[in-house]
Amino acid sequence: MPTSPGSHRVFFMPLVRALAERGHKVTVLNALKPLEGEHPNIVQIRHGVTHANPDNIDLFALRLEPMKIFDVFASICRLMAQDFYNDPPIKALYEKRDEFDLIILDHIIGEAGLPFVHERTYITINPAPMDPIQSAHLGNLQNPAYVGNMIEDYTRPFSIGSRLQKQFPHLPPFSDIIRNQSLALMNSHFSLEFPYPVVPNQIQVGGMHLRPGNPLPEDIDEFLSGSSPVVYMSLGSMLNSSIMPEAAKQAFFSAFEKLPFKVIWKFEQEPPKPLRNVLMKSWLPQQDVLAHPNVKVFIYHCGWLGSQEAVYHGTGIVCLPLFGDQIKNAVALENLGVAVRLEWSSVTEEAILAAVYEVMNNS
């Protein structure tokens, strides 16, 4: 039961496919357009609760008031709790929940799915690194003196409990349902994180989605081929390069025009002007691009999946964290010596060029 961000689906679809290939029938409930060409044992159901879709959240508008991100996501959770079980595909699946041997629930913004899993065998899957909150539900309290939270400054709980409790008055406290999970899968790996303790039913599956590169579309492969190093820029599935602040956008345009390298950029709209050495695409097969031997620098928002992919494919990193775990990820990658960090508050042509050259010359 994943939520809306495309990156979440990228992470646990390999698990879905592996289960299907082993003979299990897997139903995936998601707000995104179903993927084509999947295993016949995979049933994809698209629901209409899209409050967490990136089109409905302007994260760039929150960069000057970062604490408001928590109000935004609290509001999203309230709306999802209110609308979730009024959605016909969700209602139909809820009535058939006894038919499932196991339910897998997204740990992030997954509270609306708790009525599904009450008194049933379920596990959670977290596309982010270890979250102390998820850890505490399993009885593994983390010491805040040395284990930070993914959302460290958040002091209020999501106020969705009362809405779900009203709709399902027979349920026990949600904290009891959460503690009843049989297993917690975490997209963690000791090589990229600071130390922390785990208990036996916390399983690190970090990098589960990583794979060698596949052949690229002809136009992309032709652009990347040759003797020129390539810079790849993408802000992931939740952020759009095309709506970044205008000053930052112009800084990237100017910097990329001055680079003696090629640039391939995930840019979601028609570019305002053509750039001589830049290929802009609304979508790019990220792992296949990162796997190309000419791609030397990856400029991105420091999302966790992209961080793992860059390290796996040996690509140098320039990171621009914006919210959530991205800042923590940037600190960890800097500490490992594999990334150069820029700040949105001071993105200039000069800063971009300096960061790209540093990574290009030292990675």
- State the virtual CA torsion across 8, 9, 12, 14 in degrees, nearest 10: -140
Q: Stretch 254-267: mean pLDDT, rounded?
A: 94
Question: Which of 42-56, 191-205, 253-267, 317-331 is predicted least confidently?
Answer: 42-56
Say if residue 265 is in the same domain as residue 336: yes
pLDDT tens digits, 234-260: 998 877 887 888 899 999 999 999 999
Residues in contact with 279: Cβ distance below 8 Å, sequence separation at least 6, in sequence order: 219, 220, 223, 262, 263, 264, 265
Same domain, 194 and 226: no
Containing H/E element for 82?
Answer: helix 68-83
Q: Are residues 165 and 302 in the same domain?
A: no
**239 and 195, same domain (yes or no):** no
Residue 211: inside a domain, yes or no?
Answer: no
Does 210 fall in a domain? no
Q: Rounded distance, CA 342 to CA 241, Å?
A: 15
Based on the fold, state whether residues 278 and 335 are members of the same structural domain. Answer: yes
Please tell me the distance from the alpha carbon of residue 182 to that of residue 165, in angstroms, as a whole number. 23
**14 Cβ partners below 8 Å, 6+ apart?**
208, 209, 211
Which of these three, 170, 204, 238, is where a domain ends?
204
What CATH number does residue 170 fall under?
3.40.50
Query: Please, which residues bridge with residue 295 across strands?
Result: 230
SS3 242: helix
Q: Tell me if residue 283 falls in helix, strand or coil.
A: coil
Residue corresponding to tokens 């690194």: 129
Same domain membership, residue 187 and residue 110: yes
Percent of the chain with pLDDT over 90: 49
pLDDT of 352 above 70: yes
Q: How many independent structural domains does the chain possess? A: 2
Which of the listed residues 204, 235, 259 is the one where a domain comes to its end? Answer: 204
Q: How far apart are CA 275 and CA 298, in angstroms?
A: 19
Say if 353 falls within a structural domain. yes
Is residue 212 domain-resident?
no
CATH code, domain carrying 312: 3.40.50.2000
Residue 60 in contact with residue 341, Cβ under 8 Å?
no
The pLDDT of residue 340: 94
Same domain as 145, residue 118: yes
Kindly state the percentage of the chain with pLDDT values over 70: 89
The first and second tokens of residue 301, run together, are 């928002």
**Residue 30 maps to a domain:** yes
pLDDT tens for each residue of 117-172: 999 999 999 888 888 878 888 888 877 666 766 555 333 343 566 667 777 888 88
What is the C-alpha to C-alpha distance for residues 5 and 233, in angstroms, rounded to an integer? 19
**Same domain? 255 vs 147:** no
Q: Are residues 252 and 152 in the same domain?
A: no
Residue span of the structural domain in which 229 resides: 218-362
Residues 130 and 12 in one domain: yes
Pairing of strands 316-319, 262-266: unpaired
Same-domain pairing of 135 and 168: yes
